[in-house]
Chain A
Amino acid sequence: MDDSTILETRDLNLWYGPKQALLDISIRIPKNTVTALIGPSGCGKSTLLRCFNRMNDLIDSARITGRILFEGDDIYADHTDVYTIREKIGMVFQKPNPFPKSIYENVAYGPRIHGVRRKEVLDDVVETSLKRAALWEEVEDRLHEPALALSGGQQQRLCIARSLAVEPRVILMDEPCSALDPIATAKIEDLIIRLARDYTVVIVTHNMQQAARVSEYTGFMYMGRLVEFDRTQRIFEDPTEELTENYITGRFG
C-alpha cells in the first residue's frame, strides 16, 4: 500500500441476514482528500461507509468477509480495539444528532470519555473544535445553552465539531446535508472542503452536484457493487462505464 492511501477495502462482502448488501468491494481512499460515494438509493453506499468505522457491529444481522485496512492495519483483526478505530475514524450522520446536553458538553463529550478531565484542556478543545467547524462565532456567548435549541444547520456543524474534538484522521459523512436547507448546505460544503486540508473526508451523497462540488475522488456504486472509482472530474466528464454515464446523465436513479 502506498503512503497516500489511508483506508482500503479488499474483496469486501457484507450480508444483512440472508441479503447481500455489498459485493466484492475493493476501494482505496486517498489521504487528505474528499472522496464522495454516489449511487441510487439502496446501492450500499451508506453500508460501505458504516464499515469503515465498524458501525455495522451494532447491527446484529450484519456479517462481513474480506478485509478493511486503516493505515495498513486490519480493523477487524482480533487485537484491534473497535473503540480506538472509532476515535480515529469519526462519523457525521444524515440527521443531526446532538446529545440533549449543552453545546459545550456536546463537544467536550468525546475528550471526556477518552479521559480528559482538566477544564482548561476541555475549554481549549471546545473552542478549537467549534472554530474549525465554523460555528464558534454563532455560539461563543451561549455555550451552555441546550444544543437542541440550535437550527438544523448549526446542529450539524456542532456534530462535526463534536467529531473533530476527538482528533480523528478520517471523517465519514453520511448524507450530512440531506436534512438541511440550501444555505446551511452551502456552509457545510465549504466546511468539508476546508477540512480536507487536515483530514480525510468520505462523504455519501445522493446529490451529484454536491459530489462534483466538494470531492476530488468519486466512487459510483450500484446494487452493492463499486462500479467505478476515479477522480471526480473524470467520473463526471468521461466515465469509463456505461452504467456510470447513465446515472450521471440522469437516465436512472
Chain B
Amino acid sequence: MKREEATAVQSGYPGWPGHSWRGPEAPFARRNRHLTDLIVGKLLFIVAVLAILVVFFIIGFLLRDGYQIVLETGIWNFLGGVDWNPAGSPPSFGILPLIVGTILVTALAMAIAVPLSMATAIYIAEIAGPGTKAVVKPAVELLAGIPSVVYGFFGLILLTDWIRILFDRPSGSSWLAGSILLAIMAIPTITSVAEDALSSVPREFREGSLALGATRWQTIRSVIVPGAVSGISAAVILGMGRAIGETMAVLMVTGNAAVIPDPITNVFSPVRTLTGTLGIEMGEVAFGSLHYHALFGVAVVLLAITLAVNGLSRLIIRRMQRTPARSRAPGPLMQAVHGLIPLSLPHRARRRIIHPKTTQKFAFLLISMGVVIVLAALGVILLEIIVKGAGAISLEFLTAPPSDLGRAGGIFPAIVGTLYLVAGALAVALPLGIATAIYLIEYTADTWLTRGIRAAVDLLNGTPSIVFGLFGFAFLVLFLNFGVSLIAGQITLGLMVLPTIIRTTEESLRAIPKSLREGSYALGASKWQTVWRVVLPPALPGIITGAILSIGRAAGETAPIMFTAAVFSSRYLPSSLFEPVMSLPYHLFILTTSVAGADDQKFGTALVLLMMVLSIYLIAILVRHRYNRATVV
C-alpha cells in the first residue's frame, strides 16, 4: 500500500494531471523482472555451458583416440610413412600418401578455381550491368547449394567418363577428376567472398583512377584488386578449406588408391585423400583396434589443417581490421597513381605497342570466358540431372518404397527419412545454438575465455563433416551403443550444424547496434526485457536465415550419416529412434557407387535431392531479401 501511495505522489506532476499510467499494476511487474532476469540468465548459462562442453568434448574425444596411434607407431612413422595398408600383415599406417593426395587434389583444384572465381567476381562486381548481375550472382550462389553427393554423382557418371574418353585412359577416376569437381565446388565460396571484397572498395578509389584517364581494366587491375587483396586472400583460403574438407565428391571420383602419383605431375593417377580414407574405411573398422586409432589420427590431422586454415584467415581478417579504410586509402590510390605515371611519359607512350584499350578488350574477353565456363559447368550439371531425372519422377517414385536394390519402386522412405534426420538435427542444434549465442553475446564480456570458446566453435565450424561422422560413429554408435540409428544420425547432424548456428546467431546479434540496447536500458528495462523485445526481433531474420542454411546443409550431407544412421534399402520407415533410416543423399551414393543399371532411379533421386536442397536455399534467399526490403523502407 505504501508503495502505491508513493508512486501516485510521484506522478502528480504539474501539467500532467490524470495522465499517469502508474497504477497498482506497475509494482507487480517490477517485482517480477529481477526474478525473470535471474532465471533466464541461469538457464542460458546452463545451456551455453552444455553446448560448450559438447564442443570441447568432441575435440577432446578425437584427440584422445588419435593420440593412441602416435604412441603405437611414432609420430614420424605415422605422418611420414609412405605405406597405408591397414589390412596388410603386418598392417602399416603411413599417411603420407593421403596427405600428398589431399595437397595435390586441393592445389590443382585451386589452380582451376581461383582464376575462374576471380573472373566471375570481377565480372559481377565491376563489369556486369544490373540485369546480368541479377542472373549471374544467384546462379553462382546456386552452385553452393548443390549437395556434394550430387556433385559426386555427376562426377562419377559423366566427368570420369569424359576424361577416360578424351584422354584415352583405362579409367577416368583420377586426381584430375577430383580436382575439377572440387574446383566447381569451391568456386561459389571464393567468388562470393571475393566479390564482397571488391564491392567494398570505396568508390572514390575507382573515380580517382578513372579521373586520371585510366581505362576500366587498368582501374580494376591496379586499384580495385590491390585494394581488395585481403578479402580476396580470405576468399581463397575459405575455398581451400572447403576443398580440403570435402569427402563424398572426392571419394567418388579419385579412384582412392593410396599412392603418390608417379611422376608427381601425373594428373591421371588415382589418389586418395584424408577425408576419403575416413569415408571408405570407417564402416569396416573394429572398435579400439590399431586401425581405429589410425583413423582418429587422420581426423586429428584434418583438425590441425582446419586450425591452420582458420588461423590464416583470422590473421588476414585481423590485418584488414587493424588498418582502417581511411589509413589504407593512400595505399591503393598511390599505387594507382604510380601505375599511371608511365602512361603519361611520352617516351613510354611511343614505345608502347599495345594500346590500353586493346589490353582492356583482351582482359574483358578472358574474364567473360571465365564466367561462361562457370555458368556452363552449372548449366551442364543442372540440365543433365533435370532432363534425365524428370523422366524418372512419377507418383509411384515419390510414394513407394524401393525394391530390387533400388532398381525399381520409389524413394519414399528416403524422402521421409531425410526429413526425420533434418528435423531431429534442428531439434538438437537450434535451442542449444541460439541460447549459446545469446549467452555469449549478451551476457558475457569479451575475455580470453569467450575468445577461446569462439576459437573452438570456429574450429568445429570448419571441420570436415566426415570428422563429425567419425565422432558420431565412435561415440554414439559404438561407445553409447545406440547402433546405426536415426537418433545417432540426428545428433551427429545436429552437432555438425551447431557451430554454424552459434556463429550465424552471434553475427546477427552483433549486428544490432549498441545504441538500441542503451535506449532500452535508459527506459528502465531489465536485461531480459531488452534482449527479448529490442535485440531479438530485428536479429530474427538473420537467425532464421542461418537456421535455414543449416537445414539445407543437413539435408544434403552424406558423410556424417553414412555410418551413423543410414541404411540403403528399407521398405519401412523406422518405428523408433533406435532404428536405422533411409536418406536421400546416402541412397544416391549407394545407387551410384554400388548398383549397376538403375539409371532412372539414380537421376530421379539426384533430382529430388537437388530440388529439396535448392528450394530450402531459395527460401533462405527470399527471407533475406524480404528482410532487406522491410528495413530499408
User: Contact between A97 and B518 (Cβ–Cβ < 8 Å)?
Assistant: yes
Residues of A contacting B15 in the complex (Cβ-Cβ under 8 angstroms) = 197-198
Tell me the bound Cα distance from A81 to B524 in angstroms.
Answer: 10
User: How far, in whole Å, are A199 and B11 apart by their CA atoms in the complex?
Assistant: 11
Tell me whether B518 and A55 are in contact (CB under 8 A).
yes
A197 closest partner in B (C-beta):
B15
B523 contacts A87, C-beta separation under 8 Å: yes
Most buried by A among B14, B515, B523: B523
Determine which of A58, A109, A125, A169 lies in contact with B523 in the assembled complex, contact meaning CB atoms within 8 Å.
A109
Is A186 part of the contact surface with B, judged by Cβ < 8 Å?
no
Q: Which residues of A contact B520 (CB under 8 A)?
A: 99, 109, 113
Q: Is the CB of A58 within 8 A of B26?
A: no
Q: How far is the CA of A112 from the CA of B534 in the complex (A)?
A: 12
In the complex, the answer to whether A159 meets B10 with C-beta atoms within 8 Å is: no
- A149: nearest chain-B partner, CB-CB: B633
Contact B19 A128 (CB under 8 A): yes
CA distance A97 to B534 in the complex (A): 12
Contact B26 A99 (CB under 8 A): no
The answer to whether the Cβ of A152 comes within 8 Å of any Cβ in the partner chain is no
Q: Digit string of B497-541 for contact with A (CB within 8 Å is 1, else 0)?
A: 000000000000000010111111111111001000110011000
Residue B22 lies at the interface, judged by CB distance under 8 Å to chain A: yes
Whether a CB of chain A sits under 8 angstroms from the CB of B167 is no
In the complex, what's the smallest C-beta–C-beta distance from B536 to chain A, in angstroms?
A: 12
A84–B533 Cα gap in the complex (Å)? 18
Please measure, in the bound complex, the distance between the C-alpha atom of A93 and the C-alpha atom of B521, giving whole angstroms: 12
Judged by a CB distance under 8 angstroms, whether A72 is at the interface is no
Instruction: Decide: A113 near B529, CB < 8 A? Known: A55-B522, A97-B519, A198-B14.
Output: yes
A167 and B22 contact, CB distance less than 8 A:
yes
Distance in angstroms from A125 CB to nearest chain B CB is 5
Contacts of A167 in B (CB 8 A): 10-11, 13, 16, 20-22
Measured between alpha carbons, how far is A240 from B380 in the docked complex, in Å? 84
Q: Which residues of B contact A93 (CB under 8 A)?
A: 515, 518-519, 522
Query: Residue-by-residue, is B285-306 near A (CB-CB < 8 Å gives 1, otherwise 0)?
Result: 0000000000000000000000
Q: Which residues of B contact A110 (CB under 8 A)?
A: 523-525
A121 proximal to B (CB < 8 A): yes
Minimal Cβ-Cβ distance residue in A for B444: A60
With a cutoff of 8 Å between Cβ atoms, the chain A residues found around residue B631 in the complex are 100, 148
Q: Does B328 contact A (CB under 8 A)?
A: no
Q: Is the interface of B mostly helix, strand, loop or mixed?
A: helix
**A146 interfacial by beta-carbon distance below 8 Å:** yes
Which stretch from B27-35, B46-54, B461-469, B594-602 is at the chain A interface?
B27-35
Chain A 132-151, CB within 8 Å of chain B: the 1/0 string?
Answer: 00000000000000101100
Indicate if the CB atoms of A83 and B33 lie closer than 8 Å.
yes
Task: Name the residue on A nearest B523 (C-beta).
Answer: A110
| Chain B residues, CB < 8 A from A122 | 21
Contact check, A198 vs B16: say whether CB atoms are below 8 A apart. Answer: yes
B residues less than 8 Å from A162 (CB atoms):
519, 523
Q: B29 contacts A114, CB within 8 Å?
A: yes
A90 sits at the interface (CB 8 A): yes
Across the interface, A113 reaches (CB within 8 A) one of B21, B22, B513, B533, namely: B533
Considering the complex, give the chain A residue whose CB is closest to the CB of B513: A97
A residues less than 8 Å from B521 (CB atoms): 55, 58, 86
Note all chain B residues with C-beta closer than 8 A to A91: 518, 522
Q: Are A121 and B21 in contact (CB under 8 A)?
A: yes
Q: How far is the CB of A170 from chain B (nearest CB, A)?
A: 12
Write out the residue numbers on chain A whose beta carbons fall within 8 Å of the beta carbon of B284: none
Contacts of A166 in B (CB 8 A): 523-524
**Interchain nearest-CB distance for A156 vs B (Å):** 12
Task: State how many angstroms separate the Cβ of B63 from the closest Cβ of chain A.
Answer: 33
CB <8 Å contact, A58 and B518:
yes
User: Are the CB atoms of B538 and A100 closer together than 8 Å?
Assistant: yes
**Contacts A83-B526, A86-B521, A169-B10; A97 near B516 (Cβ below 8 A):** yes
A124 to B25 Cα, complex, angstroms: 17
Whether, in the assembled complex, A40 has its beta carbon less than 8 Å from a beta carbon of chain B, the answer is no
Separation in Å of the B276 CB from the closest CB of chain A? 48
Q: Does B353 contact A (CB under 8 A)?
A: no
Does A53 contact B522, Cβ atoms closer than 8 Å?
Answer: yes
Q: Which residues of B are at the interface with A, using a C-beta cutoff of 8 A?
A: 10-11, 13-16, 19-22, 25-26, 28-30, 33-34, 445, 513, 515-526, 529, 533-534, 537-538, 631, 633
Task: Give 18 A-B pairs besides A98-B519, A159-B519, A199-B13 with Cβ atoms closer than 8 angstroms.
Answer: A81-B30, A84-B524, A86-B525, A91-B522, A95-B515, A99-B534, A110-B524, A113-B33, A113-B524, A114-B29, A115-B26, A117-B25, A122-B21, A125-B21, A146-B633, A148-B633, A163-B522, A198-B13
Pairs across A and B, CB under 8 Å, 24 listed: A55-B521, A81-B30, A83-B33, A84-B30, A85-B524, A86-B523, A87-B524, A98-B519, A99-B519, A101-B537, A109-B520, A113-B33, A113-B520, A115-B29, A115-B30, A116-B21, A125-B21, A128-B19, A148-B633, A149-B633, A159-B519, A167-B20, A169-B10, A197-B14
